Amino acid sequence: MNRTLLVSNRLPIRIEEDGSTVRTTGGLASALAGAGIDAQWVGWPGIPAEEVTDEAKLRASLAEVDVAPVILDEETIDGYYHGYANSTVWPILHYMLERARFDPAWYPFYRRANEAFAETVLAEVENGDSVWIHDYHLFLLPELLRQSDKQLRIAFFLHTPFPSSEIFRALPERHAILRGLLGCDLIGFHTYNYLRHFRSAILRVLGVESEVESIRREQRDVSLGVYPIGHDAKGFGEALQSASIHETLEKHQQELAGKQLFLSVERLDYTKGIPQKLEAIRLFLSEHPEERSRVVFVIIAVPSRGDVDEYRQLTEDVQREVGAINGAYGGVGHAPVQFLHRSFPQPELAALYALADACLVTPLVDGMNLVAKEFIDCKHEGEGARPGVLVLSEFAGAAQELSHALLVNPYDVVETARALKEAFVMSADEKWERTRAMRARLQRTDSAAWATTFLGDLKRQPLISEDANDSPQFPRLTDRFTSIIASRKPTALFLDYDGTLREFVAKPEDAVPDPDLCPLLTRLSSVPYLHIALVSGRPLDFLEAHFPEKHITLVAEHGYRWRRADADGWDLVHGHIDTDWKDEVMPLLEQSVDLTPGSHLEEKQSSIVWHYRRADPEFGLWRAHGLLSELTDVTASLPVAVHHGKKIVEVASQLVNKGQAVKALLNDWAPAIALAAGDDQTDETMFALDLPEHVEYVTVKVGTDLATHADRRTDINGLRRFLVGLDERLTGGKD
Ligand code: GDG
């Protein structure tokens, strides 16, 4: 039975003084329980290795609650958790570059911690299991797991925002982090905006293009999705039904003594906008002296990350400002702001939500914000129920769902103070009306529904085995070639080079053949009855320099020239070709270079290519579309073909294409079986050849992009395995 593993930095557990372990509720743990998902957890138990006196006992007690611990020493926790994750990555994810600290000593610990997580996960999983990784502490983990030989479904959910690529690129380790995430089958975000920013980051940082829902990779697709997290509806529902709730409510009612309760609940974090909220409260109190004794602002600020300097400073600043406001606007026996720097049990929190006349959720930026949802959900209509209104920052992810709140820009303290006044005077009817409009949706989309939807989508991802792209027909194809050659009939291979035999790299000049490729092709080219042609867009000198072996036919410049096997020199495939058209299209192409920084022209004998690989990717693509439409007019009556390839636009003589060259070779060689493999648009002319029926012509598209005329697909490794297999059968694989 396949299992689901949940991986998060912290575990939903508490270690008691006697060393026993209990599972805690709240957050993810209750989301999964509510969804009926029985998952095993992997995470850090919250204490450093140095404090673990009896590791075997700890492991045994955690195993009883289905938890596998990742035990980290103090130095690693410091660099990985307090350092890199919380002092570098967290502020960057929240657009707070000025708060981000960059200490080169931290990242190695982050990597080491991710590796420790990978080891623990890999010791637990079996083929077919699903692994659901949570949050920014573990960005490298998906790729680390993917590198193992286990067949897993791997998913990641980011609980924070994903910022604009302009901010994200400040992270020195941005490449490694994005590559880490691309190890996933599924990546989830709270909002479409975060997903959009992620796509832009992978394009600008890694040069990887994507669609809204997926990133096509050679080995496997990465799905992208929007999954707004919900709150723990079951937990809060039960809390409000608990036996002690009436007592708690009554006690607080009395304490309030007729005053309105304006409640805030948050971790004490600089993203939550507490200083700005206090400024708005100060403004409200100063502008409305008559209300000062009729409202109490209760700010519950749960201590958070006390080991990080930024948080210690924030706590001091907030405490000072609360004192100043109370000093200025309080009275005898009344402090308008109560700052409670501790956490409360969930039933107590539910009671405060139920009582509050307003809830102030005003983060400067927040992935989602569950407090906003919990507050609305705790407003049950009925006898004695107190209505309340939500004042919500438009910069919280939750604002997209909770449009009936009073939405504010937390930086605009005047607007926030005005919203406080509006909340103060709002009628009960209007409060209930607004609550009703939001509550029904929140009940349907609670944390259990969120987890169910996410895991449902994860289970739908195909399980990729190492050989999945190796087309099942390839072994049979190897047999076919071998037996035809054994019967002394000719066979042929037509192989494109870039993107087919060799991966694309940023600079074409770096794409030299790997050390195994030339010996492999040389051995194959010595096999009687097997013709080999490299059919490339490259110029002839590049091909000749890298493939000197004379038995291999080299077709250069997309079929303009060739060096036939065993011939000495180069010939034109089609004799002389008219290239007068170049004068007419050149001005347009030169103009494209001037208008598009980073682009350049390459002139070949029979074509001109505009390259935009080094231009801004979106701008380059946009300019390419403009150029194509202009070329359609200019070239209407010219003997040329225009094509849009990978980061290029090419204008080439009409007669010249790879297909025509292959057709000529097929005529000459008359093979009983031939295979053509290629990865881009120019190779389609090889795939779409109109051939007599008796020719067994196998066409192979390398890669997953673009529609194709080819009759099967593989990736670079799949094609290489086929060639190596053929080599082993025909030559024994040795020089
Ligand atoms: C991150 C993202 C995203 C708070 N005080 C007490 C208490 N809480 C509970 C609340 C709520 C949770 O803590 C806080 O969740 P938030 O969503 O508001 O914020 P973060 O902690 O920053 O969480 C955030 C979230 O992940 C989920 O994806 O929404 O954007 O930053 O559930 O009720 N619980 C108890 N006592 C307290 O005093 N029991």
Domain of residue 634, CATH code: 3.30.70.1020
Q: What are 34-63's pLDDT values in tens digits?
A: 777 778 999 999 889 999 888 998 899 899
Percent residues over pLDDT 90 in the chain: 73
Enter the tokens of residue 522.
Answer: 């040389």
Cβ 331 vs Cβ 292: under 8 Å: yes
Residues 6+ apart with CB under 8 A from 172: 102, 104, 107
User: Minimum mean pLDDT among 144-153, 195-204, 242-251, 619-628: which range?
Assistant: 242-251
Do 641 and 666 fall into the same domain? no
Let me know if residue 461 belongs to a domain: no
pLDDT at 12: 82
Q: How close is the Cα of 47 to the center of ligand 1, in Å? A: 22
pLDDT at 468: 46
Q: Is the CB of 265 under 6 A from ligand 1?
A: yes
Q: How close is the Cα of 8 to the center of ligand 1, in Å? A: 15
Across 677-699, average pLDDT: 90
Q: How close is the Cα of 416 to the center of ligand 1, in Å? A: 22
Let me know if residue 33 belongs to a domain: yes
Q: How close is the Cα of 342 to the center of ligand 1, in Å? A: 13
Q: What are 172-184's pLDDT values in tens digits?
A: 999 999 999 999 9
Residue nearest to atom 39 of ligand 1 (CA): 346
pLDDT at 690: 87
Residue nearest to atom 19 of ligand 1 (CA): 369
Let me know if residue 605 belongs to a domain: yes
Enter the tokens of residue 339.
Answer: 């700052």
Number of domains in the chain: 4
Residue nearest to atom 6 of ligand 1 (CA): 343
Q: What is the pTM of this model?
A: 0.81
Element (H, E) at 196: helix 192-201
Enter the tokens of residue 85.
Answer: 């994750």
Cβ 464 vs Cβ 401: under 8 Å: no
Q: Is pLDDT above 70 for 472? A: no
Residues 6+ apart with CB under 8 A from 1: none
Q: What are 483-514's pLDDT values in tens digits?
A: 999 999 999 999 999 999 998 776 767 788 99
In 319-387 the beta strands, taken as DSSP E runs, fall at 337-340, 358-361
CATH number of the structural domain spanning residue 300: 3.40.50.2000
Q: Is the CB of 371 under 6 A from ligand 1?
A: yes
Enter the tokens of residue 252.
Answer: 């607080």
Q: Is the CB of 160 under 6 A from ligand 1?
A: yes
Do 631 and 665 fall into the same domain? no
Q: Is the CB of 446 under 6 A from ligand 1?
A: no
* Phi (first) and psi of residue 712, to 5 degrees: -155, 160
Cβ 25 vs Cβ 12: under 8 Å: yes
Q: Is pLDDT above 90 for 426? A: yes
Do 621 and 670 fall into the same domain? no
Q: Is the CB of 374 under 6 A from ligand 1?
A: yes
* 153 — pLDDT class (breaks 50, 70, 90): very high
Query: Can you tell me which atom of ligand 1 is nearest the CA of 161?
Result: 30
Q: Is pLDDT above 80 for 19? A: no
Let me know if residue 245 belongs to a domain: yes
Do 179 and 30 fall into the same domain? yes
- Residue after which a domain boundary falls, among 412, 444, 476: 444
Do 238 and 111 fall into the same domain? no
Residue by residue, DSSP assigns 275-334 as: HHHHHHHHHHHHH-GGGTTTEEEEEEEE---TTSHHHHHHHHHHHHHHHHHHHHH-BTTB
Q: What are 640-670's pLDDT values in tens digits?
A: 999 898 899 999 998 899 999 999 999 999 9
pLDDT at 26: 57
User: Minimum mean pLDDT among 22-31, 108-117, 335-344, 656-665: which range?
Assistant: 22-31
The Cα 67–Cα 631 span in angstroms is 63
Let me know if residue 534 belongs to a domain: yes
Q: Is the CB of 267 under 6 A from ligand 1?
A: yes
pLDDT at 705: 67
Residue nearest to atom 1 of ligand 1 (CA): 159
Query: Can you tell me which atom of ligand 1 is nearest the CA of 367?
Result: 30
Let me know if residue 394 belongs to a domain: yes
Q: What are 266-325's pLDDT values in tens digits?
A: 999 999 999 999 999 999 999 999 999 999 999 999 988 777 788 889 999 999 999 999
Do 329 and 414 fall into the same domain? yes
Do 588 and 639 fall into the same domain? yes
List the helix and strand counts (H, then E) for the chain: 26, 28
Domain span holding position 105:
4-226
Query: Can you tell me which atom of ligand 1 is nearest the CA of 374?
Result: 33
The Cα 81–Cα 109 span in angstroms is 9
Percent residues over pLDDT 70 in the chain: 97
Q: Is the CB of 401 under 6 A from ligand 1?
A: no
Query: Can you tell me which atom of ligand 1 is nearest the CA of 159?
Result: 28
pLDDT at 469: 46
Do 527 and 397 fall into the same domain? no
Select, from the ranges 37-51, 409-423, 614-628, the one with the highest average predicted confidence (pLDDT).
409-423
Q: Is the CB of 511 under 6 A from ligand 1?
A: no
Residue nearest to atom 36 of ligand 1 (CA): 344
Cβ 563 vs Cβ 536: under 8 Å: no
Q: How close is the Cα of 334 to the center of ligand 1, in Å? A: 29
pLDDT at 501: 95
Q: Residue 87's closest CA among 188, 179, 171, 163?
A: 171
Which residues are designated catalytic?
496
Let me know if residue 505 belongs to a domain: yes
Residue nearest to atom 4 of ligand 1 (CA): 266
Q: Is the CB of 369 under 6 A from ligand 1?
A: yes
Enter the tokens of residue 1.
Answer: 């039975």
Do 269 and 190 fall into the same domain? no
Q: Is the CB of 361 under 6 A from ligand 1?
A: no
Q: Provide the mean pLDDT of the chain.
A: 91
| DSSP character at residue 83 | I
Q: Where are the alpha helices (DSSP H) in 359-464?
A: 370-377, 413-425, 428-444, 447-459
